[in-house]
């Protein structure tokens, strides 16, 4: 039951997130649906390839496809004047999708008796893979590769599930809330990982001239 609930939450959240990004980039209705589907299912497809699950398993999720289509249609049909409000909630839905799918991906790997390293990788790919593909298709710098903390929270979810710190339904739901909240706090207060830029160094260094 926990698995199914997390799958539904993640699918709805990422489908809406992808649809919002598509509308921000002024894609047509087909682009909205494609970007939403890719965001909702891209991470799971990448995860399946790396942990040995047949790709055909993706097509067995007909119920989730229907849910994703309904969620995207609702967002697309909202009155034009309400879209700015939806845009402000884009990061919120992305945080929910990241948390739900990271935990779901970790549970998938644990179920297949994979080691902790594989559990963490499955959590990261499931939680952020769809968002990476979404941003690339939208012509944006992938959110997970920016200085802003993103994939770290998926790693936290993977470690918690892989080490059995969260195993009961209550613990998993609590982990979902914690990871989503950490992601929301990280973009609200602009938490960042250490990073270095070579761009300013290249500008500041004097160019050598030949003698």
For residue range 7-17, list pLDDT tens digits in order. 888 888 889 88
**pTM for this structure?**
0.81
Task: Using the predicted structure, report yes or no on whether residue 102 has a pLDDT greater than 90.
Answer: yes
Task: Using the predicted structure, report yes or no on whether residue 210 has a pLDDT greater than 70.
Answer: no
For residue 24, the model assigns a pLDDT of: 85
From the list 155, 140, 78, 85, the residue with the least C-alpha distance to 132 is 140
Selected residue with higher pLDDT from 120 and 24: 120
Task: Using the predicted structure, report yes or no on whether residue 79 has a pLDDT greater than 50.
Answer: yes
Could you give phi then psi for residue 192, rounded to 5 degrees? -140, 150
| pLDDT, average across residues 95-124 | 92
Kindly report, residue by residue over 162-201, the tens digit of the pLDDT.
Answer: 999 999 999 999 999 999 999 999 988 888 877 777 766 5
């Amino acid at each position: 039951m926990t698995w199914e609930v997390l799958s539904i939450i993640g699918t709805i959240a990422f489908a809406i997130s992808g649809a919002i990004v598509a509308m921000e980039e002024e894609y047509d209705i087909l682009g909205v649906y494609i970007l939403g589907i890719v965001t909702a299912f891209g991470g799971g497809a990448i995860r399946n390839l790396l942990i040995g699950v047949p790709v055909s398993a993706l097509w067995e999720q007909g119920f989730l496809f229907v849910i994703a289509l309904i969620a995207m249609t609702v967002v697309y049909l909202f009155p034009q004047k309400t879209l700015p409000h939806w845009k402000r909630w884009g990061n919120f839905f992305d945080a929910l999708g990241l948390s739900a799918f990271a935990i779901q991906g970790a549970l998938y790997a644990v179920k297949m008796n994979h080691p902790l390293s594989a559990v963490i990788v499955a959590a990261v790919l499931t939680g952020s893979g769809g968002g990476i593909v979404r941003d690339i298709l939208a012509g944006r710098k992938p959110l997970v590769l920016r200085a802003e903390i993103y994939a770290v929270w998926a790693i936290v979810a993977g470690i918690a599930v892989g080490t059995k710190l969260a195993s009961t339904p209550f613990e998993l739901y609590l982990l979902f809330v914690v990871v989503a909240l950490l992601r929301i706090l990280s973009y609200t207060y602009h938490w960042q990982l250490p990073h270095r830029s070579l761009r300013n160094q290249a500008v500041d260094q004097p160019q050598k001239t030949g003698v």
